[in-house]
Amino acid sequence: MSTRIAAVLFDLDGTLLDTAVDMIPALNQVRVEQGAAPLPYDLARTQVSHGSTGLLRLAFPGLEGAPFEALRARLLDLYAARIATATTPFPGFEAVLPEIERRGMRWGIVTNKPAFLTTPLLAALGLDRRAGVVVSGDTLPERKPHPAPLLHAAHWLSLDPAACVYVGDAERDVQSARAAGMPVLVARYGYLGPDDDPDAWAADAHIADPAGLLHWLDAR
């Protein structure tokens, strides 16, 4: 008999929140400052789950070392200044999160996004008061795909990892959950790119929209 799921843990960018609408304008401002044309939105969107490093590698291929880090710092400054200008939860979460809470379940966030960005973003959206746990990319020495962040979140909630389900849109999310002994769902509505092959990631299930999480819970 499967363990009863008592909590849902979400990745942030590309899973719970559509942050591309604020991250890509910041990236393209860096491009323009460097004399380059803005990147197409749909192209840049596929890299948002990979954070500032993934976005800059797309925008400035071959750039390394100190010049890369200087542009990354500039990107983060620009993004921090517009952290929640247009960002919202993906459509459907306005019903899914209250339903999770109505069922007496906990929910939280495990992200590789650093706390200096995660904290003000969640506060601006009023999600900081609702999340039972938030693990940012610098909460621990390890980040996903290491299992430590997910294990830390489960421990914080006083739950066995098997009693939590993790939802993410990147292969490292599945790897982290598998290593933590936690069931995992792939958010197919997230920031998947043409080179991603989520069918090969060996997740427990795939969801096409946030409501798919509730369907999966109901089917257990």
For the chain, state the CA radius of gyration.
17
Two structure tokens written together for 39: 């990147």
* SS3 at position 9: strand
160 is catalytic: no
The residues, ordered by sequence, that sit 6+ positions from 35 with a Cβ below 8 Å of its Cβ are none
Which residue intervals of 60-156 are DSSP H helices? 65-81, 93-102, 115-124, 148-156
Distance, CA of 170 to CA of 195 (rounded, Å): 11
- Give me the residues paired with residue 89 across strands: 17
Residues annotated as catalytic are 11
